């Protein structure tokens, strides 16, 4: 048996070179977004765009302009929708049973991908009450035991977590003991995203925003590259990082970004924080309850209910847990 | 053969030259490294400053890689069929039709401190060759620097097996001879000369009737090897203008070696199989054969450099003014896969062995420089050979890294403006899809590899599990081609670029669990 004949080798190579020359331009055009679209029975070559939807929720179903697009599983949760005609707004809906539906109208631009991230809060947010007392069986209860200590005419809670939460919400150690103080200090230092601005030197980012005295700003929160506060019951959010790293929700389109976002609510916002793990979602406390609100204002913001009672306060506690205070009762919410 | 007299014929590196010649040679030494590092730098710079260009280049390159894989797989498959055919062929019967009784096979077996068991297995395979062993002249080439034990082993085995062959001698290469590196080249050159004086001249055997086979000491020949070699020697137009290259199968201890070692070994075998069908790119490697006449005329193997096995081809190519080639035998010889007492040591040895192979890049400045000096070689041949060698070493060092690592750079370093583009989202998807199609070629590799395996030792338990691993091990290929292909390639080219020459031949330790 002779070695592979040269003629066969050359023929094979020529065939592969032809394939390369034919298919590479097609691959490149495809990768750039070029598609042949059927528009009114006319096939035209169009430079399309796409939408990319990030999701931290599994097993979702995605709809585009009211039509089923795809189902995501547990592992692959994000969705890339391609081949979209540019310069047209598209409505993306993401649904899952037991969760509030996320819907967004997003613009699509030629050869660009419009990015977005779903906000899907469970319809029934699981909650756990933290009771002030512990009964003989070790269960939490609202009823103090006969032996309970009395402080300023009220029984002193015996549950440590409850006492810590009271102190966290009050901002001071009302049943002061040395050990509690340590715990509270520890809890405060691990608080997720809120930082106190009691420093005397004015950080550069505040100077950049023209803020002379951060102390007067209500509900001031400084993340790595974002600063936000409450102003007349509205949230003001500013990007103070590099322009090249600005997140998508500041941008209406590539190159069309603004560094300030205002969340203007009908009611007065009493307090806000960021939803743990998300820089693009506010937790907003208003008179009707606690809501999760998208920062992204490219179309109507998704507002999803977290807790619908007229609660007094909420906070992000240690380990990014959400606690709400409803009178003398405390609840931990799991989102 | 005038060029043999050239002062440049046996140079190893730039340090052997002076003045302008030295400067030119240094430039040539730097070219492979510059090409490789230049490629990486270009992709990195493009990824940062022109991420779109980088992404489009990567997509085009991935598709080129896919087509190249198809092209190479076609050659691989064909050679597999040819090798199976050649193994089945009764070569003894084939040579019966020819006049071959005048031919002798001089087999040189250089060794260092390898175990007596390993050496004896090699000799036993020669004894059991389907060829007249009286026409076989064996040289057991020991090293003085290996100590008295090694020399004693050599003498003992020579005495034990001498009567099987036409002749068998032990040569002991003296330690510390001038103008020699520590390595295999000086030993086989010394032993070839000793064989000439002690056997060929004494028995008055014409040099043109002797075929030399320089085998690594773990080379266990298949029974038809010498008949196959003889047939090819007698049927090529000019047997003094060619070397003969078998396919090295690293399967002596394949069932004992760890999966990564097996994959690295089999990948090397596959590459040699592919090269067997691309004769114009084939260069002698590891165990090979050639006419003693040709070998003697060029002064045997070079003694001052590491890659003696491939350099002898280039010596002969230059001496014959480009009229020299390699005949692919498509017939296997069995050798050892890398195996050491511990897994880490095994991997370390594989790396070192591959670094030594990749050090073959030292031939590039040699051929470029000598092509410049030898005006009798046609320009077309010079360009073809240089381009083939440069492309071969460049692609081995860069392509796996470009595909598996650098392909992500535009996404990571391209900035948000690029990350928002459809291209940025398509890049990983298209790359993944192209690579998935490419890796289906591994199925062919797994099938071919399985077909070439020796029987699993009877005493082995968990036989199904071992077979399963033997098939699934091919998922390691992306790692092995980077760790044992690209990295030693880059290492060797960088050393050469900076003039940090490898000064001593690293002898791959031979270890078999059963000995």
Give me the pLDDT at residue B45, please: 95
How far is residue B313's CA from residue B325's CA, in Å, rounded to a whole number? 8
Mode of pairing for the β-strands spanning B104-110 and B210-214? parallel
Which residue is listed with tokens 């290492």?
B491
B424 touching A (Cβ < 8 Å) = yes
Please tell me which of the candidates A27, A50, A113 has its beta carbon nearest to residue B59: A27
Q: What is the pLDDT of residues A235-278, one digit of tens each?
A: 999 999 888 788 889 987 667 888 999 998 888 899 999 999 89
Q: What is the DSSP string of B210-277?
A: EEEEE--TT-EE-TTHHHHHHHHHHHSS-GGGEEEEEEEE--TTTTTS-HHHHHHHHHHHHHHHHHHT
Q: Where in chain A is the domain with CATH 2.60.40.10?
A: 48-117
The ipTM, to two decimals, is 0.87
What is the pLDDT confidence band of residue A186, given thresholds at 50, 70 and 90?
Answer: very low
Chain centroid to CA B100: how far? 29
What is the pLDDT confidence band of residue A175, given thresholds at 50, 70 and 90?
Answer: low
Q: Which residue of B has its CA nearest to A5?
A: B277
Give me the pLDDT at residue A135, please: 84
Q: What is the pLDDT of residues A124-149, one digit of tens each?
A: 999 999 999 888 888 888 888 777 78
A23 touching B (Cβ < 8 Å) = yes
Q: Which residues have C-beta within 8 Å of that of residue B423, sequence separation ≥ 6? A: A31, A32, A33, A111, B52, B55, B56
Q: Which residue of B has its CA nearest to A80?
A: B425
Mutation site, B422, B430, B438, interface A, largest A CB count within 10 A: B422
How far is residue B285's CA from residue B281's CA, in Å, rounded to a whole number? 12
Calculate the alpha carbon distances from B504 to A163, B72, B183, B500 in Å: 74, 33, 6, 12
Average pLDDT of chain A is 86
Please tell me which of the candidates B71, B81, B422 has its beta carbon nearest to residue A111: B422
Give me the pLDDT at residue B400, please: 93
Contact A30 B82 (CB under 8 A): no
Give yes or no for a contact between B296 and B196, defined as CB atoms under 8 angstroms apart: yes
Q: Which residue of B has its CA nearest to A13?
A: B71
Mode of pairing for the β-strands spanning A154-155 and A67-71? unpaired
Q: How far is B173 from chain A (nearest CA, A)?
A: 39
B82 touching A (Cβ < 8 Å) = yes
Strand intervals (E) in A156-270 = 218-222, 226-231, 234-239, 251-253, 256-257, 260-263
CATH superfamily assigned to domain A48-117: Immunoglobulins (2.60.40.10)
Q: Which residues have C-beta within 8 Å of that of residue B503, sequence separation ≥ 6? A: B181, B182
Ramachandran category for residue A24: left, alpha or beta (phi over 0 → left; psi -120 to 50 → alpha): alpha
B453 touching A (Cβ < 8 Å) = no
Please tell me which of the candidates A20, A112, A245 has its beta carbon nearest to residue B421: A112
A12 touching B (Cβ < 8 Å) = yes
B340 touching A (Cβ < 8 Å) = no
Give me the pLDDT at residue A214, please: 78
Give me the pLDDT at residue B123, please: 97
The three state secondary structure string of B272-288 is HHHHHCCHHHCCCCCCE
Q: Which residues have C-beta within 8 Å of that of residue B385, sequence separation ≥ 6? A: B317, B367, B371
User: DSSP letter at B475?
Assistant: G
Say yes or no to pLDDT of A223 above 80: no
pTM: 0.83
Q: At what angle do helices B184-195 and B308-319 cross, to 10 degrees?
A: 60
Beta bridge partners of A47: A34
> B2, B16, B1: which is closest to B302 by C-alpha?
B16
Give me the pLDDT at residue A193, please: 44
How confident is the model over A305-333, as a mean pLDDT?
89
Ramachandran category for residue A280: left, alpha or beta (phi over 0 → left; psi -120 to 50 → alpha): alpha
Interface of B with A in 427-446 (CB under 8 A): 427, 429-430
What is the pLDDT confidence band of residue A189, given thresholds at 50, 70 and 90?
Answer: very low
Q: What is the DSSP string of A245-294?
A: G--GGGEEETTEE-SEEEE--SSPP-EEEEPTT-SSEEEEEETTEEEEEE
- Which residues of chain B does A115 touch, with a Cβ-Cβ cutoff of 8 Å? 420
Give me the pLDDT at residue B159, please: 96
Class of the CATH domain delimited by A204-316:
mainly beta
Give me the pLDDT at residue A297, please: 87
Q: What is the pLDDT of residues B169-181, one digit of tens each?
A: 999 999 989 989 9
What is the pLDDT confidence band of residue A187, given thresholds at 50, 70 and 90?
Answer: very low
Say yes or no to pLDDT of A198 above 60: no
A242 touching B (Cβ < 8 Å) = no
Q: Which two tokens stand for residue A16?
A: 């592969």
Give me the pLDDT at residue A180, please: 40
Classify residue A76 by burial, with Cβ atoms within 10 Å: 0-12, 13-18, 19+: exposed
The DSSP element (H or E) to which B110 belongs, if any, is strand B104-110
Contact A113 B59 (CB under 8 A): no
Give me the pLDDT at residue A327, please: 86
Contact B422 A245 (CB under 8 A): no
Burial B256-289 (b: 16+ CB within 10 A, else e): bbbebbbbbbbbbbbbbbbbbbbbeebbbbbbbb
Q: Where in chain A is the domain with CATH 2.20.25?
A: 204-316
Give me the pLDDT at residue A181, please: 41
Which range, of A187-201, A210-224, B310-324, averages the lowest pLDDT?
Answer: A187-201
Collapsing DSSP to helix, strand or coil, A231 comes out as strand
Mutation site, A2, A3, A20, interface B, largest B CB count within 10 A: A3
Say yes or no to pLDDT of A192 above 70: no
Angle A91-A96-A101 (CA atoms, 0-180°, nearest 5)?
45
What is the pLDDT confidence band of residue A183, given thresholds at 50, 70 and 90?
Answer: very low
User: DSSP letter at B484?
Assistant: I
Please tell me which of the candidates A12, A28, A48 has its beta carbon nearest to residue B56: A28
Class of the CATH domain delimited by B100-342:
alpha beta
Give yes or no for a contact between A219 and A272, defined as CB atoms under 8 angstroms apart: yes
pLDDT tens sequence for chain B (515 residues):
789 999 999 999 999 999 999 999 999 999 999 999 999 999 999 999 999 999 999 999 999 999 999 999 999 999 999 999 999 999 999 999 999 999 999 999 999 999 999 999 999 999 999 999 999 999 999 999 999 999 999 999 999 999 999 999 999 999 989 989 988 999 999 999 999 999 999 999 999 999 999 999 999 999 999 999 999 999 999 999 999 999 999 999 999 999 999 999 999 999 999 999 999 999 999 999 999 999 999 999 999 999 999 999 999 999 999 999 999 999 999 999 988 888 899 999 999 999 999 999 999 999 999 999 999 999 999 999 999 999 999 999 999 999 888 888 999 998 878 988 999 999 999 999 999 998 888 888 888 988 989 989 888 888 888 888 888 899 898 899 999 999 999 999 999 999 999 877 667 777 666 55
CB neighbours (10 Å) of residue A332?
16
Q: What is the pLDDT of residues A53-88, one digit of tens each?
A: 999 999 999 999 999 999 999 888 999 999 999 988
Give yes or no for a contact between B392 and B489, defined as CB atoms under 8 angstroms apart: no
Mode of pairing for the β-strands spanning A140-141 and B210-214? unpaired
Size of interface A-B (CB pairs under 8 A): 88
Contact B427 A31 (CB under 8 A): yes
Contact B277 A9 (CB under 8 A): yes
**What are the extents of the domains in chain B?**
100-342
CB neighbours (10 Å) of residue B311?
24
A195 touching B (Cβ < 8 Å) = no
- For a pLDDT cut of 70, what percent of chain A falls above it? 90
């Amino acid at each position: 048996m002779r070695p592979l004949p040269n003629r066969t080798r050359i023929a094979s190579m020529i065939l592969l070179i032809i394939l390369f020359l034919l298919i590479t331009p097609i691959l490149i055009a495809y990768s750039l977004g070029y598609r042949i679209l059927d528009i009114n029975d006319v096939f035209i070559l169009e430079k399309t765009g796409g939408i990319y939807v990030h999701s931290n929720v599994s097993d979702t179903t995605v709809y585009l302009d009211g039509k089923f697009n795809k189902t995501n599983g547990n592992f692959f949760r994000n969705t890339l929708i391609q081949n979209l005609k540019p310069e047209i707004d598209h409505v993306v809906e993401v649904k899952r049973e037991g969760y509030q539906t996320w819907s967004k109208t997003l613009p699509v631009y030629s050869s660009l991908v419009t990015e977005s991230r779903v906000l899907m809060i469970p319809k029934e947010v699981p909650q756990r009450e933290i009771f002030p007392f512990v009964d003989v069986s070790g269960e939490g209860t609202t009823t103090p035991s006969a032996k309970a200590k009395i402080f300023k005419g009220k029984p002193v809670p015996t549950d440590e977590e409850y006492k810590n939460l009271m102190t966290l919400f009050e901002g001071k150690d009302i049943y002061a003991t040395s050990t509690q103080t340590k715990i509270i200090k520890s809890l405060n230092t691990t608080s997720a995203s809120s930082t106190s601005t009691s420093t005397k030197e004015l950080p550069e980012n505040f100077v950049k925003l023209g803020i002379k005295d951060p102390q007067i700003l209500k509900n001031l929160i400084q993340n790595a590259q974002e600063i936000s506060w409450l102003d007349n019951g509205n949230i003001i959010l500013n990007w103070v990082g590099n322009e090249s790293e600005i997140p998508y929700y500041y941008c209406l389109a590539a190159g069309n970004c603004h560094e300030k976002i205002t969340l203007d609510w009908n009611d007065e916002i009493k307090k806000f924080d960021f939803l743990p793990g998300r820089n693009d979602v506010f937790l907003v406390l208003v008179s009707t309850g606690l809501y999760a609100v998208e920062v992204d204002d490219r179309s109507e913001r998704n507002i999803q209910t977290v807790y619908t009672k007229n609660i007094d306060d909420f906070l992000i506690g240690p380990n990014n847990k959400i606690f709400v205070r409803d009178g003398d009762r405390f609840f931990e919410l799991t989102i | 053969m005038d060029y043999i007299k050239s002062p440049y014929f046996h140079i190893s590196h730039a340090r052997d030259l002076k003045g302008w010649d030295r400067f030119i040679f240094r430039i040539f030494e730097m070219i492979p490294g510059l090409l490789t590092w230049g490629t990486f730098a270009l992709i990195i710079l493009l990824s940062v400053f022109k991420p779109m260009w980088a992404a489009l280049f990567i997509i085009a390159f991935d598709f080129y890689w896919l087509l190249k894989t198809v092209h190479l797989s076609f050659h691989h498959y064909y050679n597999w069929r040819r090798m199976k055919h050649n193994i089945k062929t009764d070569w003894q019967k084939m040579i019966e039709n020819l006049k071959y009784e005048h031919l002798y096979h001089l087999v040189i077996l250089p060794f260092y401190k390898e175990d007596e068991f390993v050496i004896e297995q090699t000799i036993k395979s020669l004894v059991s060759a389907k060829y007249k062993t009286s026409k076989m002249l064996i040289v057991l080439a020991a090293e003085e620097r290996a100590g008295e034990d090694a020399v004693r082993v050599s003498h003992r085995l020579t005495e034990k097996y001498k009567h099987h062959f036409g002749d068998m001698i032990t040569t002991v290469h003296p330690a510390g001879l001038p103008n020699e590196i520590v390595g295999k080249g000086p030993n086989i050159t010394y032993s070839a000369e000793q064989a000439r004086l002690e056997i060929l001249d004494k028995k008055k055997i014409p040099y043109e009737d002797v075929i030399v086979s320089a085998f690594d000491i773990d080379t266990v020949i298949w029974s038809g090897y010498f008949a196959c070699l003889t047939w090819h020697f007698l049927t090529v137009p000019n047997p003094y203008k060619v070397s003969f290259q078998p396919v090295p199968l690293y399967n002596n201890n394949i069932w004992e070696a760890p999966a990564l070692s097996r994959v690295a070994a089999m990948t090397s075998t596959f590459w040699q199989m592919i090269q067997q069908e691309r004769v114009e790119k084939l260069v002698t490697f590891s165990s090979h054969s050639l006419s003693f006449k040709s070998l003697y005329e060029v002064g045997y193997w070079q003694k001052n450099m590491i890659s003696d096995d491939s350099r002898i081809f280039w010596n002969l190519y230059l001496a014959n003014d480009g009229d020299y080639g390699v005949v692919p035998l498509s017939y296997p010889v069995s050798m050892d896969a890398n195996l050491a007492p511990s897994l880490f040591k095994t991997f370390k040895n594989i790396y070192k062995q591959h670094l030594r192979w990749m050090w073959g890049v030292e031939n590039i400045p040699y051929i470029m420089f000598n092509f410049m000096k030898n005006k009798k070689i046609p320009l077309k041949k010079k360009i073809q050979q240089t381009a083939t060698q440069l492309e071969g070493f460049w692609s081995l060092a860069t392509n796996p890294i470009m595909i598996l690592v650098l392909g992500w750079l535009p996404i990571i370093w391209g900035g948000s403006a690029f990350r928002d583009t459809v291209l940025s989202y398509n890049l990983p998807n298209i790359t993944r899809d192209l690579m998935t199609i490419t890796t289906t070629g591994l199925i062919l590799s797994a099938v071919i590899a399985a077909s070439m395996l020796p029987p699993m030792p009877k005493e082995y338990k968990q036989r199904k599990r071992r077979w399963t691993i033997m098939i699934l091990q091919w998922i390691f290929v992306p790692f092995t081609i980077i760790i044992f292909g690209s990295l030693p390639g880059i290492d060797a080219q960088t050393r050469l670029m900076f003039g940090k020459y490898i000064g001593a031949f690293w002898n791959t330790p031979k270890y078999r669990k059963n000995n």
